[in-house]
A and B are shown apart, each in its own frame.
Chain A
């Protein structure tokens, strides 16, 4: 990779978001100067962080993940393969800082689900489905069968538990599939499918992350189902009075993702609120010191998240991989880049994006300005998904596996359209306040139905992109906007947040599958034209000098 090119690419992805926010600031949604300055400063840090992170992923995470996947498969020992994948998935997810935060919040809010049990349940569910996803590649179980069955079961269970638990389940899955876990899972799947012979091998290169994400939702719904089944009456009564307050904290702080103990979130909000009056310090200095103050905590979180992965790679290197020296140097350098990049990224996103998002949402949620929410949601959704780190990793890998056939911009555009629709619909729902199921159920059924007519490669990319789209940028910028809007328009933040995350998870699979169908149709047309042309050329050649043309026309 080329660091300069990476940086200019990520700048291209983030700058439009900054422009939109500034445009909103000068037109209809003025926010405090401090917030704006720290947003811009945050965005700059995010650009550098994202660029460096992507460089590290290219150097370390993707190669080591796929080498491990390939080496495991070559052992031809199915129980050992599945067990290793399960263990790797479990350990890496367990270390995800987002998930711990999510667990603490859910414990403080529900009182029914403990933090530890949530973290363990989600990690186990995710790891189990990750192993299932790998096993599927080896045993050649059709992808859509697994998707339809597991999502079907999840939805069936979800319709029987309280919406708040469903919200928690989706949020937990979003928290667990972070920018570190996703690239590694994608690479692992690539590695396993890469050692498979046969021309269909590429079809299986993706999809593992999509399955793993269901695992997390599945585990949480089962847990909620078991708990609410056992304590039906008490659960119902206890959830009603506290629901309003509790759910607010739940989702607002979920948005705070990596940063936050709950009081940390309050500090952030309070800090930006009362910084207005005391004009003595310059907003620039304030933004800078806020960034600096957030740095150590992010450094610690990222270290905790990255350490198990590094240990895992070292372990596999010792036992199975035995990479040569230059390769090892690259991986070590790459891990270092990943660390630096992630620390910068989270520092910028958490200190810069969340306050700005919340303030804008609150202003826009006022009845007089609500008309802008739907179009703004569409635009923000489309732009923000292009800033998701894991999204970049996915599209880059797709381009590589398809040998440049499915280009990054095309895929990003399709996901952006999907997310735009999802966020727009969610905003509409926030304004109108109807049940999320009216949007969610048809969207899900459509996504399921499309799997039967979409080319296989696109089905697996589609469901991966769904879980990838719900990353740290959407939870630090779109979610606060939605929640702010929900607060000031009198909605219920808990279920609104759920609506948003679930919609972002389900709309990209639809748009990507539609892209796949279009792509396939075009390819077939081109193929027919090419065949006709070759036939013509062949005939012409035979007519002129009788020799057969070599196979130069095929691409």
Chain B
């Protein structure tokens, strides 16, 4: 019983819980739901600054035997509205399959709060189709000054962008070149190879 992959399902807000219940019935031990936001792929809505939508990310850890049935369950999960449509992909947890060529990459950017929208904008210009923004907290460093016994921890945003392999370098480049990110220590960026990419629900 070794867990070899994590299934990421990115769907509309409120869908992930039902999906997780569905997967649990099919034998998963449970999952973790992250709540984030996404900007829609509409130039008009983005111009009006009303393109945001709430998104759920359901993380499910699976064994090799569970992988296919669980993926199928996610893919065939009925999503009624186009606004809840999303994507699914997996990330390998072990080293065994890491060398395999994959056609998608997950770009993760962790930055101080307030920069996510600039990053998304740059990524879009460089060819990204979408991305999800998660709210997070840094852990602070052990030698951080205390303030009335409280450790002050910086607020962070994590931007997750799934991109085709050939587009990923351009997107990475565009983010790294952002003028507002040239302060040292403002954030980190890394990528992970991704498998089993599929669109979920009706297409927008």
Q: Is the interface of A mostly helix, strand, loop or mixed?
A: helix
At the interface, yes or no: B33 with Cβ under 8 Å from chain A? yes
Contact B152–A74 (Cβ < 8 Å)? yes
Contact B30–A552 (Cβ < 8 Å)? yes
Given A552-B60, A552-B61: A2 touches B148 (CB 8 Å cut-off): no
Contact B83–A2 (Cβ < 8 Å)? yes
With an 8 Å Cβ cutoff, the count of chain B residues facing the other chain is 44
Q: Which of B35, B48, B148 is A138 in contact with, Cβ under 8 Å? A: B148
Q: How far is the CB of A389 from chain B (nearest CB, A)?
A: 17
Contact B49–A553 (Cβ < 8 Å)? no
**In chain A, what residue has the closest Cβ to B111?**
A324
Q: Which of B48, B56, B114, B135 is A67 in contact with, Cβ under 8 Å? A: B114
Contact A555–B3 (Cβ < 8 Å)? no
**In chain A, what residue has the closest Cβ to B48?**
A333
Contact A327–B117 (Cβ < 8 Å)? yes
Residues in chain A near residue B83, CB distance under 8 A: 2, 5
Q: How far is the CB of B115 from chain A (nearest CB, A)?
A: 6
Contact A324–B115 (Cβ < 8 Å)? yes
Categorize the interface residue count of chain A. 35 or more
Residues in chain B near residue A198, CB distance under 8 A: 150-151
A318-357 contacts to B (CB < 8 Å) = 321, 323-327, 329-330, 333-334, 337
At the interface, yes or no: B98 with Cβ under 8 Å from chain A? no
Contact A555–B32 (Cβ < 8 Å)? yes
At the interface, yes or no: A237 with Cβ under 8 Å from chain B? no
Interface 0/1 of A531-555, CB less than 8 Å to B: 0000001000100110101101111
At the interface, yes or no: A403 with Cβ under 8 Å from chain B? yes
Given A138-B148, A139-B148, A552-B30: A2 touches B114 (CB 8 Å cut-off): no
Residues in chain A near residue B149, CB distance under 8 A: 140
Question: For the complex, what is the distance from the CA of A329 to the CA of B50, rounded to whole Å?
Answer: 12
**In chain B, what residue has the closest Cβ to A3?**
B50
Given A138-B148, A195-B153, A553-B30: A325 touches B180 (CB 8 Å cut-off): yes
Question: For the complex, what is the distance from the CA of A544 to the CA of B2, rounded to whole Å?
Answer: 12
At the interface, yes or no: B53 with Cβ under 8 Å from chain A? yes
Question: For the complex, what is the distance from the CA of A101 to the CA of B125, rounded to whole Å?
Answer: 50
Given A58-B52, A549-B1: A400 touches B61 (CB 8 Å cut-off): no
At the interface, yes or no: A59 with Cβ under 8 Å from chain B? yes
Interface 0/1 of B132-152, CB less than 8 Å to A: 000101011000010111111
Contact A1–B155 (Cβ < 8 Å)? no
* 18 contacts across the A-B interface (CB closer than 8 A): A2-B53, A59-B50, A70-B113, A74-B152, A76-B147, A76-B152, A197-B139, A198-B150, A324-B118, A325-B180, A327-B114, A329-B49, A330-B49, A333-B48, A403-B34, A404-B33, A547-B2, A553-B30
Report which B residues bind A (CB closer than 8 A). Answer: 1-3, 13, 28-35, 48-50, 52-54, 56, 60-61, 83, 113-115, 117-118, 120-121, 135, 137, 139-140, 145, 147-155, 180
